A and B are shown apart, each in its own frame.
Chain A
């Protein structure tokens, strides 16, 4: 059945997009697989990235970006829209550019992850590859940038409908159940039902953001403000009931807390040190006060604060390149999923070297939790056998105690073969 559905999707894909193929079209096909030594699990799939720009006249364009992804598990939807938008360049006024539609917005100067790049929700993945970390879910929005001159601009983002991160319910339960252990709940004998309140986002009460960016000497900087909601849900009320047959019935009512984010982005070079670039993003997050109330089976309730104070997130890095070698060293305060009191520090190191003929590019990535010392190492190489072909082989291994930040990543090997068209 799955194969049949995939076939239908491929046919639809070809049928719908065939007529625009002749336009400004590009994309890639990637076959990927990974094997986890601990779980003895082979994960594999294929994906097609496709993007097309349709010039309507010299200033207006239509953009379509699609991701067709077949994966043996954790597949959210086989056909995902990455972006469908109407774009204006020097439109409607000479000083403005805009995009409207289902958009992917990228903010932040950091290379690996940015605490200000939070306008788009993300699909779920257990994989830590840069390719996967870059995947986003588009949002219905307007993005308009007003250029004051050649170096300074003001960007306005307006989103009238809320879209959340995609987290499979079984994963959400895996996260919630351990937090109920102190109340005597046996995860093996628990029936959990989760309901969620959507934030009241509308045309008159939108998610919105502003960003001013420009250049100051050797540095480019941006200041931003985001008014919106967390993209993952947090429990607000939980009712625990012990049923007569010894089973636990847990009803969780979740919601999406409001948040404001004040952001700073910068990237620049230092005079006298050729090849060196500094980049960083800093976010000051002001969350809505959020209390998780747990009504216990034996009566009474417990209140657990989830968010009750502002906090910082950051990504600060330096990269240096010389003789085909590239080194990146960074400090993260908080990863993509950590918020509030869970925010913790990490160190990141990347080095790659490109062979003279440009075919080989071995690399090493390392992420360490500076809180508990758990570490993930990723060693691999990219290989370019010919024009438009790219092969990436990665071996990863983690160290750290059970329950540590990165220790559970385990040991695995991954292979991706990509063809660009």
Chain B
């Protein structure tokens, strides 16, 4: 009898302890946020591969400068280095697309464009401005831990914004390094829309995670975008007026 009671206590203890020591969804998101690379300015050189429904690939090389403007706002300068028909075309996006300018060297003209619709595609890729604007913090999503195994956590995120184009996100989080390995984006009707997968990361000395290669597949349009980073420089000194119309007209950045 005593043994039986002890066993029940042990099971109860393990159950309660398990509840105490396991992370909640909110804590997982916090840990992911803590592991995100923190920077004020960043220069990224890399390539984007667009894959159409027939599997045909189109590669674009690019250089991108970005700056954290605070309040979750990022300014970006994005220049195509290849192929020839878009070489030198440069985009300036101020504060998450509040204002977007396009410079086309052939016309020697800076054009203000109304691409600020946050759900529009960014430069022909499958990413929207919203997708690029940053992380998946608990301030923007209601999160639930749906399960876990030896290597991953499985979260469900529901956007808090009523006008979000996504109904929910299913996120797979690496248990050891706390970065998302995969996100399935569902539309508001519950259909799978996009799948984002991280293929290569680098863990820095401070434990933060840099994503070096990822892909985003638009399941509805059967189109995919692969982004590969060849070099990243962080906290580079840039003048205050770098993210300006003046800069994007320069022959070299």
Interface residues of A (CB under 8 A from B): 24, 26, 28, 49, 51, 53, 55, 58, 61, 63, 87, 89, 97, 104-106, 109, 111, 134, 145, 147, 149-151, 153, 215, 218, 220, 267-269, 274-277, 279, 319-322, 356-358, 387-388, 390, 420-421
Contacts and interface: CB of A to CB of B under 8 A. Distances in A.
A420 B113 contact: no
Given A153-B246, A358-B124, A269 B116 contact: yes
B241 interface: yes
Contacts of A145: 246
Contact of B244 (A104, A109, A151, A420): A151
Contacts of B84: 26, 28, 388, 420-421
B69 interface: no
Contacts of A322: 117
A55 B246 contact: no
B108 interface: yes
23 contacts: A24-B251, A24-B252, A26-B84, A26-B87, A28-B84, A63-B251, A87-B251, A89-B250, A106-B108, A106-B109, A134-B107, A147-B241, A269-B99, A269-B116, A276-B114, A277-B113, A279-B112, A321-B114, A356-B223, A357-B52, A357-B53, A358-B124, A420-B84
B112 A277 contact: yes
B85 A275 contact: no
What band does the interface of chain B fall in when counting residues whose beta carbon is under 8 Å from A?
20 to 34
A141 B207 CA distance: 55
A24 B99 CA distance: 29
B249 to A, nearest CB: 8
A267 B112 contact: yes
Contacts of B131: none
Interface string B100-133: 0000011111011111110010001000000000
B112 A55 contact: no
Nearest to A275: B114
A39 to B, nearest CB: 31
Contacts of B85: 28, 387-388, 390, 420
A274 B114 contact: yes
B27 interface: no
A28 B88 CA distance: 14
Nearest to B58: A387
Contacts of B108: 104-106
B251 A61 contact: yes
A205 B206 CA distance: 65
Contacts of A49: 106
Given A106-B108, A277-B112, A356 B83 contact: no
Contact of A220 (B112, B116, B120, B221): B112
Given A26-B87, A106-B107, A150-B246, 15 more contacts: A26-B88, A53-B252, A61-B252, A97-B246, A105-B108, A109-B112, A267-B112, A274-B114, A277-B114, A321-B115, A357-B52, A357-B223, A358-B124, A388-B85, A420-B83
Contacts of A51: 105
A274 B117 contact: yes
A380 B230 CA distance: 40
A64 to B, nearest CB: 12
A105 B107 CA distance: 10
A269 B240 contact: no
A220 to B, nearest CB: 6
A383 to B, nearest CB: 13
Contacts of B243: 150
A275 B108 CA distance: 23
Nearest to A356: B221
A63 B106 CA distance: 13
Interface in B197-253: 221, 223, 240-241, 243-244, 246, 249-252
Task: Give the one of B53, B113, B221, B251 with max A CB within 10 A.
Answer: B251
